Chains A and B, each alone.
Chain A
């Protein structure tokens, strides 16, 4: 289907026909089209409905500043709220126009997204004339250059115009320069890549669109994380709308956009046009459209004596457009001279706003430039240059020169010697530029045309309810005036009151206009009012793109032990502990968790069990002062520990609260192996190094994490000695020869091992440490005896709770001291000092009614208290708030005790032993009896077997 709106294509702009569907209608476009240009080519003028007012909306702009043509992609994968002007057409695309809100798909998104890091000496943002010139200058110095541009082809707005550089069409010149740059070894040219964020220390982020139609496994979009020595912002300018009645109708279009449709896409956005302008650049647009076949009915120029001349149409100088006719799309244009001109297209140009968004994000300050009626960079905070239209230089030749100079400056600032300057390319300067605006009220030397308004924002009217300021948010001049009428004076307040600038364009079109109207309404100076804050992203970026590959299993690394595959093969269920996967329990067929855990507990208490304890943190602490160092860190004494012996220890933070616990093994006079809880391994190492480096640099101590070096198996239960003796015939393992809290080097099942006699269950137990790569062999050898039951963390928790051993993080919460845990015995009275000691003397930590770790026995021995339940004094609850006495930290069903039990932190708990307290759970509070926290084998009779 060839449309009468389609002209021939310029060479290099594609041309392969593509089928697409919009709002249920099938159409054909050409490769190189955007959805917007393809719709215009098919004569589709109304593409969406406005969000709040339900007004018909057409295509207003030609790139990321589009406020109106917001569409939903339906196929190949649903994507909400895209600007039709930025969607590159592809075969089979199905889209619909939206009314303000998009729809998310609940189908899984099959697309892949990724991210890469890049470093360069000079990053040039924008491959328009200024950007290309900058990149060429910087590349010539030998600097590593990245040139990133958001369009599919280089040239910025050159392809939108009919201008020439060095005698060739601007677009051809741009592609040649870009191709030359891309061929250089130290230059990377990224097209379809929008730099959307400018962060501290010249860290910029960009998104590269690699194609919805891309192949399997290829990332659809890619985030570039770029660290640049120096940045050149050659980001161009946006044409500024004018607020007049019904300026939102389909058929009203920015003049530069219409010019782009004619030149870049070969599409005529209308048949007969009126031009409404406050500057000269629209004349170039009019000329290009006229030569493309659009009849220009008139140019309505707000200036009394326009600088530009064109005899292709009647020029109504000193006049304004007062409105448009037509039910939906424009069918006529009303002019202040009273005429109503038949037209289906109204081109609008209120001037040009430099694109200073990234500059603003980078912390730069702006100033108002009377000459262009907009804001331009004043002072930068980061290592950057601004070139071309982005700083108000609008002529093509000016942009080429400015860009080359900026590129050279950037390279020099990055430490390179800039090469001799290219002779400046000869630009046609026939009414176009980097942004399509060569003469928009500012001549080449930057001076405004004499006696003419250079900034024209608003057509006066008696009623401003259809003078739109932000088309997507349906914000009108009337809304802005109402905000100022309510007393609001800040543009930030007006933005929030009206929502102007909060939609897709983020103020690209509406921002300066809103400031101007506020200034007008309250009689303030726009230079003082300023703009709202510029924030990333410059244009919308999908969540999935930003999430990249960090999804699913890659969301957070999984850490597994060397025994993991065995656990999986034997049906273990796993618990996440930090990043680790730990076997939780090993259900046998038909067993639920409760049954499995009771069985595992019985195995340990009655025969022998084995647990993979490899995740415990292990830190090798060496050096002549290691003992002194540990004395300062732990609450108890470590220097008195004998080589060959083991001691349990607790560490506090300086605030006196329990931080971590574990065992300390003395390997030699100057060497210890410290174990930590699984979750705190990294934190404890950090803690040690911090104190060593920042407070005690004179201590000669070296700490190394050896967590992953070792596979650790806890072999526990009255039968553990026999199992060990069977596999390790070397050392004597009787209680006298191998006493509790000592360690031996031994061969176990032929594997070199360090065996420790420690117990976290109260049973006779050994902790066997072997090289990680031998872990599986050891584990299998233990199980090959047929005597050993594997058990998981849940059983470990039950067994330790029966013994009243707290778990840091479960029975403590950062507000618990060793004394609260009933561990006065672990707090040295002899040592001069250790971290946290001073805090124990504060009034709150010395309080007698602090929460103490105690045991609880529910009156009903079969009732399992929920962990996290609270305790109160009386069986009848008063009206809330009811102060809590504390809470249940651990609660289990005990095979050994033949009943349920719990641990709890209870206010003044040690003085309450024997008391009855109540646990409100909804309904009748559950009675419990407070006990000492050690419920099983309080004499410790079992630990030697």
Chain B
């Protein structure tokens, strides 16, 4: 049960959140202009580092806001909110 630093509500139990995977993956401005390979990259390929990972969480059972945090996936330690 991680203690997740919601920037709006403060630290809360993981059970209140939904995970959103890698942060900073923008929806392509013009999907139609992308090749199939580029579109596949957007759809299916996400970073999966062992170490620092900028990720998204949604405080579904709280403020319902999305936010980004950096967590170390090797230790589950929070690096920054």
Given the interface pairs A225-B1, A842-B36, the reply to whether A686 lies near B43 with Cβ below 8 Å is no
Q: Is the CB of B31 within 8 A of A833?
A: yes
Please tell me if the beta carbons of B58 and A686 are within 8 angstroms of each other in the complex.
Answer: yes
Query: Are A201 and B75 in touch, CB under 8 angstroms?
Result: no
User: Considering the complex of A and B, which 10 residue pairs feature the smallest CB-CB distances, nearest first?
Assistant: A838-B31, A201-B3, A693-B66, A203-B1, A200-B76, A695-B27, A694-B66, A838-B39, A200-B2, A201-B2
* Chain A residues near B77 (CB-CB < 8 A): 381
- Check if B34 sits within 8 Å of A686, measured CB to CB: no
B46 within 8 A of A: no
A689 vs B64: C-alpha distance when bound (angstroms): 8
Closest chain-B Cβ to A693's Cβ sits at a distance in Å of 5
Nearest CB in chain B: distance from A586 CB, A = 36
Contact with B along A505-531 (1 / 0, CB 8 A): 000000000000000000000000000
In chain B between 23 and 60, which residues have their CB closer than 8 angstroms to a CB of chain A? 26-28, 30-32, 34, 36, 39, 42-43, 56, 58, 60
Tell me if A837 is interfacial: C-beta within 8 Å of chain B: yes
Instruction: State whether A686 and B1 are in contact (beta carbons under 8 Å apart), knowing that A381-B75, A833-B32, A839-B39 are contacts in the complex.
Output: no
Q: Are B75 and A363 in contact (CB under 8 A)?
A: yes
Q: Which of A172-218 contact B (CB under 8 A)?
A: 199-203
Contact with B along A162-174 (1 / 0, CB 8 A): 0000000000000
Query: Of residues 522 to 561 in A, which have CB atoms within 8 Å of B's CB atoms?
Result: none
Residue A747 at the chain B interface, CB threshold 8 Å? no
Can you give 14 A-B contacts (C-beta < 8 A)?
A: A200-B1, A200-B2, A201-B3, A203-B1, A203-B3, A225-B1, A689-B66, A837-B32, A838-B28, A838-B31, A838-B32, A838-B34, A839-B43, A842-B39
Are B43 and A690 in touch, CB under 8 angstroms?
no
When chains A and B are docked, how far (Å) is the Cα of A199 from the Cα of B2?
A: 8
Least CB distance, A657 to chain B, in whole angstroms: 11
| B66 and chain A: residue at smallest CB distance | A693
Q: Which residues of A contact B (CB under 8 A)?
A: 199-203, 225, 227, 363, 381, 654-655, 686, 689-690, 693-695, 833, 837-839, 841-843
Indicate whether B62 reaches chain A with its CB closer than 8 angstroms. Answer: no
Q: How large is the interface on B (under 10, 10 to 19, 20 to 34, 35 or more residues)?
A: 20 to 34
Closest to A835 in B: B27
Question: Contacts A693-B66, A839-B43; is A199 near B31 (CB within 8 Å)?
Answer: no
Query: Which applies to chain A's interface (DSSP): helix, strand, loop or mixed?
Result: mixed
Most chain B beta-carbon contacts within 10 A, residue among A199, A654, A694: A694
Q: CB-nearest residue of chain A relative to B20?
A: A690
**Contact yes or no, B39 A686, CB < 8 A:** no
- CA distance in complex: A115, B60 (Å): 23
B28 contact set on A, CB distance < 8 A: 838
Q: Which residues on B sit within 8 Å (CB–CB) of A381?
A: 75, 77
- Chain B, residues 66-81, CB within 8 Å of chain A (1/0): the string is 1000000001110000
Measured between beta carbons, the chain A residues less than 8 angstroms from B32 are: 833, 837-838, 841
Assembly CA distance A202 to B3 (angstroms): 9
Assembly CA distance A843 to B65 (angstroms): 37
Q: Are A694 and B18 interface neighbours, CB within 8 A?
A: no
Measured in the bound complex, the distance between the Cα atoms of B76 and A203 in whole Å is 13
CA distance A364 to B22 in the complex (A): 28
- Residue in A closest to B30 when the chains form the complex, CB atoms: A833
B36 to chain A: which residues have CB within 8 Å? 841-843
Q: Residue on B with the closest CB to A225? A: B1
Contacts of B43 in A (CB 8 A): 654-655, 839
Bound-state CA distance A839–B43 (Å) is 9
Residues of B with C-beta under 8 A to A363:
75
Q: How far is the CA of A200 from the CA of B77 in the complex (A)?
A: 8
**Residues of A contacting B75 in the complex (Cβ-Cβ under 8 angstroms):** 363, 381
| Contact for B58 among A201, A202, A690, A833, CB less than 8 A | A690
Min CB gap B64→A, angstroms: 6
Query: What residues of chain B lie closer than 8 Å to A200, measured between beta carbons?
Result: 1-3, 76
* Cβ contacts under 8 Å, A225 to chain B: 1
Distance between Cα atoms of A182 and B28 in the complex (Å): 60
- Inter-chain CA distance A837–B34, complex, in Å, is 12
In the complex, chain A residues whose CB is within 8 Å of the CB of B64: 689
Residues in A neighbouring B34, C-beta threshold 8 A: 838
In the complex, chain A residues whose CB is within 8 Å of the CB of B20:
690, 694
Q: Which residue of B lies closest to A205 (CB)?
A: B1
Q: Min CB distance, B42 to chain A, in Å?
A: 8
Complex CA–CA separation, A201 to B56 (angstroms):
18
Q: Is B27 a contact partner of A693 (Cβ separation < 8 A)?
A: no
Contact indicator B2/A690 (Cβ below 8 Å): no
Please name all residues of chain B whose beta carbon is closer than 8 Å to the beta carbon of A655 when the two chains form the complex: 43
Contacts beyond the supplied A200-B2, A689-B66, A839-B39: 8 A-B pairs with Cβ under 8 Å: A654-B42, A686-B58, A833-B30, A833-B31, A833-B32, A838-B31, A841-B32, A841-B36
Q: How far is the CA of A36 from the CA of B28 in the complex (A)?
A: 69
Q: How far does the alpha carbon of A653 sit from the alpha carbon of B39 in the complex, in Å?
A: 13
List the B residue with the shortest CB-CB distance to A691: B27
Contact between A694 and B56 (Cβ–Cβ < 8 Å)? Answer: yes
Q: Is B1 in contact with A201, judged by CB distance below 8 angstroms? A: yes
